[in-house]
Amino acid sequence: MSRSLEKLIKSLSRLPGIGEKTAGRLAYHLLKCPEEQARQLSESIGQLRENVFFCPTCGNITEEDPCDICRDKRREREVVCVVEEPADIRAIETSGSYRGLYHVLGGRLSPLDGVGPDELSLDRLLQRIETSKPRISELIVATNPSVEGDATALYIQRMLNGHRVRISRIACGLPAGGHLEYMDSLTISQALEGRHNL
């Protein structure tokens, strides 16, 4: 096998959800597809790395500082929805049921995986709670319904104990162990409406 092809397969197989067989199929497809299609993919990946970054305010994926959501004056600025990853924002936005701001943690507490509070953007969340104008009155914790997601929600509740902010957790119309980015809009909408205080 060609070294270049082997290198591509190895690189593709490092992506989440892509095993060696799928990486091989993708590599062979790229080898057979029109050159322009392969070139466009290569350029898109390069542009992604050059132009896209995480919003310094909320952690969402953006090409502008701050992101579209943080800049939007029509959004409810007193309510912040805390999510694990930027993909969760996209899922919630698709539901059309939430008009507040967001805060991306960059993961969830998982001691077995070496992810503690210092690896998440919890300090930045605390800073937002303490300095935001207007004052943040509600925090909706929308971590995934898993042991790690629940532990993260509990940690946030304890961290903010004594701060004047209502902390709620999305309702579990979401299956245990599920991920927001894979949920349909109706399920997410109902989970947000049925949130409960922590």
Q: What is the pLDDT of residues 27-49, one digit of tens each?
A: 999 999 999 999 999 999 999 99
Instruction: Output the six-digit token pair for 107.
Output: 């993961």
CA dihedral 39, 67, 178, 155 (to 10 degrees): 140
Nearest to 188 by CA among 175, 174, 178, 177: 174
Average pLDDT over residues 148-172: 93
Query: Coil, strand or helix: which one is 141?
Result: strand
**What integer pLDDT is reported at residue 62 of this predicted model?**
98
- What mean pLDDT is predicted for residues 123-134? 96
Band (pLDDT 50/70/90 cuts) for residue 182 is: confident
pLDDT for 185 equals 80
d(CA 64, CA 118): 26
- pTM value is 0.79
pLDDT at 132 over 90: yes
Q: What percent of the chain has pLDDT over 70?
A: 95
Give CA–CA dist 104/88, Å, rounded. 9
Structural contact between residues 91 and 112, judged by C-beta atoms closer than 8 angstroms: no
Q: What is the mean pLDDT of the chain?
A: 92
69 token code pair:
């959501």
User: Are 140 and 192 in contact, with CB atoms under 8 Å apart?
Assistant: yes
Query: Which residue, 182, 159, 157, 158, is CA-closest to 167?
Result: 157
The per-residue pLDDT for 172 is: 67
Q: List the domains of the chain with CATH numbers.
A: 3-51 (1.10.8.420), 61-197 (3.40.1360.10)
Distance of CA 110 to the CA centre of its chain: 16
In total, the chain counts a number of residues equal to: 198
| pLDDT band of 12, cuts 50, 70, 90 | very high
Q: How far apart are CA 189 and CA 171, in angstroms?
A: 10
